[in-house]
Amino acid sequence: MVNHEHYTYRVTWSAEDKEFVGLCAEFPSLSWLAETRSEAMDGIVSVVGDAVAEMHSAGEVVPEPISERKFSGQFVLRILPDLHRKLVLEATEQGVSLNRYIAARLA
């Protein structure tokens, strides 16, 4: 069973609600509003824990925590040919490969 504490959580201020809102990246439809940052975090962790338990007991597929996923370091990106040409030119002018140039720009 997935440990719900391994998910990616964050707390932000909601100007609309005038409260802190706890969020979980792996469960974007869930949130928890509270007066304090710590209450918002505790609330979202609890709600996600309940959701994971319900999904598990119903035989549903539970999302894998981002922190436990394996990443290859590669992804395919489709861009317009003119942009491709422009990026190759910029990389060449910098004296680096296109891969290195784009990785540096993304960082």
Q: How far apart are CA 7 and CA 50, in angstroms?
A: 13
Q: Which domains does the chain have, with CATH numbers?
A: 4-67 (3.30.160), 71-106 (no CATH)
Question: What digits encode the pLDDT tens for the residues 11-52?
Answer: 999 999 999 999 999 999 999 999 999 999 999 999 999 999
Does the pTM surpass 0.95? The reply is no
List alpha helices for the chain, DSSP H.
Answer: 37-57, 81-94, 98-106
pLDDT number for residue 104: 96
Distances (CA, A) of 21 to 16, 50, 59, 66: 11, 18, 29, 20
The residue type found at 16 is: E
Residue 1 reports pLDDT greater than 90: no
Average pLDDT over residues 68-89: 95
